[in-house]
């Protein structure tokens, strides 16, 4: 098993497009407070390193998904609209 930052290891940064919203996790910023998990446990979970990963963000309604991302105290969750407009943070 190899891990190498230069290969763009998706454990550090990952992105999903859900219903026209582009949600990005910056795992280097996440400090594992879990606010987003509390708000939308269907969408986010903390992994073994206490850093957030996606579960099934498409199963959460748009408003709650936005609320969950906006709840992050360190802005580790970014949401953009389909035209690239940043909605969160």
Candidate ranges 3-11, 55-63, 71-79, 81-89; the one touching ligand SF4 (CB under 6 A): 71-79
Q: Is 66 a binder of ligand SF4 (CB under 6 A)?
A: no
- For the bound state, the minimum distance from the C-beta of residue 16 to ligand SF4, rounded and expressed in Å, comes to 14
3-state secondary structure of 35: helix
Nearest residue (CB) to ligand SF4, 1 versus 48: 48
**Closest Cα to residue 62, out of 22, 27, 25, 13?**
22
- For the bound state, the minimum distance from the C-beta of residue 39 to ligand SF4, rounded and expressed in Å, comes to 8
Q: How far apart are CA 49 and CA 34, in angstroms?
A: 13
């Amino acid at each position: 098993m190899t891990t190498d930052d230069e290969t763009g290891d998706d454990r550090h940064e990952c992105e999903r497009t859900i219903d026209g919203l582009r949600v990005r996790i910056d795992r280097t910023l996440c400090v594992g407070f879990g606010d987003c998990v509390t708000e939308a446990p269907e969408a986010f979970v903390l992994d073994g390193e206490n850093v957030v990963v996606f579960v099934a963000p498409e199963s959460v309604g748009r408003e709650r998904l936005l609320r969950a991302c906006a709840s992050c105290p360190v802005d580790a969750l970014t949401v953009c609209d389909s035209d690239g407009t940043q909605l969160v943070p």
